[in-house]
Structure 1
Amino acid sequence: MSHLKHLIIAGVLCAAPLGNAVAQSVESPWIVHVGAHVVDPKSNTGDLAGLSSSTTRSLRPSVSVEYLLTPSWSVELLAALPFQHDVRLDGQRAVGVKQLPPVVGVNYRFLAGQTVSPFLGVGVNYTHFFDTKGHNALDGTNVSLGDTWGIAWHGGVDIA
Structure 2
Amino acid sequence: MRVLTVLARASVLALASSLASNSVRGADLGPAPVYYVYYKAPPIEPDSPWMIRLRVLGVLPDTAGSSVNVAGTPSLSSPSSGLSLSDRAIPELDITYFFTRNVAAELILGATRHHISGNGVLTGLDIGTAWLLPPTLTLQYHFTDFGQFKPYIGAGINYTAFFNQSAANASLGGLAVTDLHIRNQFGAAVQFGFDYMLDRHWGLNFDVKKLWLRPEYSATVNNAIAVTGRANIDPWLVSGGVAYRF
TM-score interval, normalised by the smaller of the two chains? 0.7 to 0.9
The equivalent of 2:141 in structure 1 is 108
Aligned pair 1:29/2:49, yes or no? yes
2:112 alignment partner in structure 1: 83
Question: Partner residue of 2:60?
Answer: 40
Q: Is the 8 A contact 1:45 1:54 kept in 2?
A: no
Q: Offset of 1:127 from its aligned partner?
A: 0.5
Report what 1:143 is aligned to: 180
Shift in Å at residue 96 of structure 1?
A: 1.0
Matched, 1:64 2:94: yes
Structure having greater relative contact order (Cα 8 Å, sep ≥ 6) = 2
**Percent of residue pairs bearing the same amino acid type:** 23
- Correspondence for 2:191: 154
Residue 163 of structure 2 is matched in structure 1 by: 130
Query: Structure 1 residues 104, 125: closer, same or farther in 2, change over 3 A?
Result: same
User: Distance in 2 between the 1:72 and 1:62 partners?
Assistant: 24
- Which structure has the bigger radius of gyration? 2
C-alpha change, 1:67 and 1:46, in structure 2 (3 Å) is closer
CA RMSD of aligned residues (A): 2.3
- Runs of 5+ consecutive residues of structure 2 not aligned to the other structure: 1-43, 69-75, 198-246
Give the letter for the 2:152 counterpart.
F
Q: CA deviation at 1:38?
A: 3.1
CA distance, structure 1, for counterparts of residue 181 and residue 144 of structure 2: 45
**Total equivalences in the alignment:** 136
1:77-135 deviation line (CA, Å, top 9, x unaligned): 1111x211122212423221111001111111233572011222112111000111122
TM-score by length of 1: 0.73
CA contact (8 A) 2:127 2:177 kept: no
SS in 2 for 1:43: coil
Greater alpha carbon shift after TM alignment, 85-94 vs 42-51: 42-51
Q: So what's the TM-score if we normalise by structure 2?
A: 0.50
Give the direction of change, closer, same or farther, for the CA distance of 1:83–1:77 in structure 2 (3 Å limit). same
Please say if residues 45 and 55 of structure 1, whose CA atoms lie closer than 8 Å, have aligned partners that are also in contact: no
Structure 2 counterpart of 1:54 = 84
Q: Say whether the 8 Å CA contact 1:87–1:95 is kept in structure 2.
A: yes
Match for 1:74 among 104, 108, 117? 104
The residue number in structure 2 matching 1:12 is none
Deviation, structure 1 residue 140: 6.6
Q: Which runs of 5+ in 1 are unaligned?
A: 1-23
